[in-house]
Amino acid sequence: MQGLGAPWGSSHTELLPRGHRVGDWVVTEPIGAGGWATVYAGRRADERAARAAAARGEPAEVALKIMPTAGLAPRQARNVAEAARREVEIGVRAGHPRLVRLLDSTVLTAPDHPALDGAVVLVMERAGGSLRDLLDSGVTEDEGGRLIAGICEGLAHLHRVGWVHADLKPENVLVGEDGSVKLADFGLATELTGTHGYAPPMGTLDYLPPERWRAQLGEQGVEIRPSADIWALGIVIHEVFASGAPLFPGATPVARGAAVQEYAAGRAPLRMAHGIPEFWRALAADCLAPTHAARAAHTAASLLERITAHRAGEPGQARRNRTVRLGRAARALLLAVAACGALSSAVWTYTAREAAEEPPRRIRVFNAERACQDRTDRDPRCSLGLAVDPLRPYTAGNVVPTRVWHADVLDTDCQLLRGEAVIDESDLQSTHWFRVRLPGPDPEARAWLPAVRTKDRPEVPRCPAPAES
C-alpha cells in the first residue's frame, strides 16, 4: 500500500520458500508484495482434502496474504492487526460475487523466518491478475465498460451494507481467468456509522479525494464517506480509457496531489486525456466533482444504472436486440450477464416461442438456514445466489448480480434434471435446477435456481439443450 502512513518499506520482505506449510496450505510461488503484506500462491497440503474440495467446486489454488507483525512498534502492529480484522469482517459479513472471497484465516508458524513468525495469514481465492495488468496492454471500450461496471457493482454492494473501500485503485481490482471482476484489499475499509466512518490517515495518494488532503485527524482517525470511493472510481475510469495515464499532472504523487487541490479550489480545469469516449468522460467528470457534497448525488448504485443503460444501447448490443425481436423463433442469448461482469461460459439458449406456448409457473425460494427464514430485512447474509450456468460449479464466479431471499416468488419456465450437484445447509443434495426469470425490467433475463432452494415442484417442460457461446 503506497502512500500515507505505510508501516514499512520494501526492506521488510522475507520470502517464504516453495513448499512451506501455512496451515492447511503450502506455498507454491510469490505473487507480489506491498506495504502491508506479501502474497503467495498456495495449494492444499493434503491431496485427499484437495480432491474433496475440488468435488465441492472449491479452487485448487489460492492466494495466501501474509501480514507480518514481528519487529514492529506496538502502534504499527495494531495497524496490521486492525487491517486483518477488517479483511476478515468484510469476508464474513459482506460476501458478494464482486468481492474477492475469503476462504480461511490463520497464523503463520515459521521459526526459521523470525520476521514472518506469527504473521496473520488470509487465505483468499486467486485471480488471474489485476486491472493494472490489463491497463498496461490496453483494453477495448467494450471491455473497459464491462470492467468498470463490475467495479461499480462491487462498490454499490459495499456501500449498501455500510462499508467504504477507501483504497480503490487498479491494483486492488482483480480480474479472473474468465474475466470476472472482484474488488480486493480491504485493509483500509471503513465501516460507516450513519453518513460517515473514521479511517486511519493512510491510502494511495493518487486516489485520495480533495477533502482528504485537508482532513483533520481526530482520535478516531479521519472522516471518510462513500463519496471517497466515487472520486477514486473517477480516477480509475480515466486510467482505463487512457491506458493507465494519470489524470492530474505532476512527476510525483505529492505533486499530483497539489494539482488535485488546485482543481478543487477552482484554479485549474479538469483536463482528461484525448480519446476518452464521451459517455465515460461525462461519467468520470461526475465522479470527480470537487467536493463531497457535489459527488454525493452520484452513488455507486446510480452510476451502475447509467452504465447499464448505456451498455444496453451500444451499437453491437442494439443489433443483438433487434435480431431477437425480428426473429422470434430464433434462439437468443439467455443472459447478457448484466453490465457488471459478463462471464465467459456456455450460455443457455432461450426461445421466445417456447415461452409463449408454455406459460411460466411460480415457485417460492426456500432458505434452509432457520435463522434466515423469519427475517424480512433482506439482510445480505441471508441472500441466495442464482447461477449463470447450471452445468458449472455453484460458486461465486457463477452467479448473477441479482440476489434473492427466503419466500421470494419467481417465475420458472423449464427445468433441468441433471445439472451440477448442489448440497444445501441441511445436507440435501440434488442435480435438479429450475430456470427462472430475473426480477427487473428485462422480460428475457434468466438465471438458474437449484431445486434445493425451493420446496415447489411445478410441472414445467425440460429445458432445451445448451449451446456454446
Concatenating the DSSP letter of every residue in 292-306 gives HHHHTTS-HHHHHHH
Side-chain half-sphere exposure of 21, counting CA atoms within 13 A: 6
Concatenating the DSSP letter of every residue in 307-375 gives HHHHHHTSHHHHHHHHHHHH-TTS-EES----SS----S-B-EE-HHHHHHS--EEEEB----HHHHT-
The closest of 31, 157, 1 to 90, measured between CA atoms, is 157
Q: Contacts from 171-175 at CB under 8 Å and sequence distance 24+?
A: 171/34, 171/130, 171/131, 171/132, 172/130, 173/130, 173/131, 173/132, 173/147, 173/236, 174/100, 174/127, 174/128, 174/129, 174/130, 174/131, 175/127, 175/128, 175/129, 175/130, 175/131, 175/133, 175/134, 175/147
**Secondary structure class of 97 (helix, strand, coil):** coil
Burial of 252 (0-12, 13-18, 19+ CB in 10 A): exposed
Q: Is 112 a catalytic residue?
A: no
**Secondary structure class of 83 (helix, strand, coil):** helix
Query: Which residue is catalytic, options 104, 112, 142, 167?
Result: 167
- Contacts for 443 with CB less than 8 Å, ≥ 6 apart: 437
Give, to the nearest 10 degrees, the angle between helix 141-160 and helix 226-241: 170
Give, to the nearest 10 degrees, the angle between helix 278-287 and helix 300-312: 180
What are the residue numbers of the active site?
167
